[in-house]
Amino acid sequence: MEISLKSFIANPEECPYLRNRTKTYRYFVLYNLTPEEHNTLLEQGWRHFGYTFFQPACTSCMLCIPVRIKTFDFKPTKSQRRTLRKNANTLARINELTLTRKIYSIYEDHAISRFKELPSLQFLLSNVLDVCSNTYQIEYYQLSQLFAIDYIDETPEALSSIYCIYHSDFAKLSPGIYSILYAVELARQKGLPYLYLGYYVPGCNIMEYKISFHPYQWYSWEKLKWCDEPVAF
């Protein structure tokens, strides 16, 4: 592991998740990261885009809470079983990281329709497609038509979802939920006990889905350890 930039804390900005709050992150940049080192960082609540690793450094709340699914014990809910049935004809393919016109068009639609954000080619190139560790993409097809891509890291103990995009024309299939269900099963097949979903933010509706997969664990910034559900403060 090569640290090319010392850890630093960014200036506070408006929080995109909770009203009337600010956010700030602690960052550092890593190269030549081994899967074992990556696993340790995940266990400590770090996330990454490209080579840049970050974790919350807010002084007032620390409500960006890492969550992970215990894959061996996972049991789908009634709603999740419905999603599996809706995707009975969905084909998943694991592929190396690549960017095509089709993938970029799906990203454009996803950025605009889901987040009301302007698409950025630079975002994809530097935050998703820069290979930091053992990273690949899972592509989802209906009738040979690509409609969703999930970018995944793999470590010796876990899979970790970096970023999932899908075209809004296929929203009825609940691609975001299905990609998690598929990744849980993939982790089981690989003998990996955890699937990391990134940060859950209590009070932010678009993050609620992350605690709908049971059993899950959450990381306590106060105790610096993983705890069984539910999230408590």
Number of structural domains the chain divides into: 2
Residue 164 bridge partners (DSSP): 150
Same domain, 41 and 78: no
Closest of 68, 12, 76, 107 to residue 199, by C-alpha:
68
**Do both 45 and 90 map to the same domain?**
no
pLDDT band at residue 7 under the 50/70/90 scheme: confident
pLDDT at 1: 59
Q: What is the CA radius of gyration of the chain?
A: 17
* Dist CA 191 CA 193 (whole Å): 6
Annotate 125-158 with DSSP letters as a single string.
IIIISS--SSEEEEEEEETTEEEEEEEEEE-SSE
Whole domain around residue 199: which residue ranges? 67-228
Asked if the structure places residue 217 within a domain, the reply is yes
Give the chain's mean pLDDT.
92
Which CATH number do you get for residue 83? 3.40.630.30
Which token pair is 132?
Answer: 């930091």
> Which of 44, 64, 84 finishes a domain?
64
Strand-pair category, 52-56 with 91-95: unpaired
Inside any domain, residue 233: no
Which of 64, 89, 116 finishes a domain?
64
d(Cα 157, Cα 190) in Å, to the nearest integer? 9
Residues 75 and 53 in one domain: no
Query: Is there a single domain that holds both residue 56 and residue 73?
Result: no
Q: Are residues 51 and 106 in the same domain?
A: no
What is the model's pLDDT at position 3?
A: 55
The verdict on residue 11 lying in a domain is: yes
Stretch among 85-94, 116-125, 210-219 having the lowest mean pLDDT: 116-125
Indicate whether 82 belongs to any domain: yes
Predicted TM-score of the model (pTM): 0.93
47 and 104 inside one domain: no
Please give the Cα distance from 224 to 45 (Å, whole number). Answer: 9
Could you tell me if 53 and 121 lie in one domain? no
pLDDT in tens, 118-142: 878 888 888 787 777 789 999 999 9
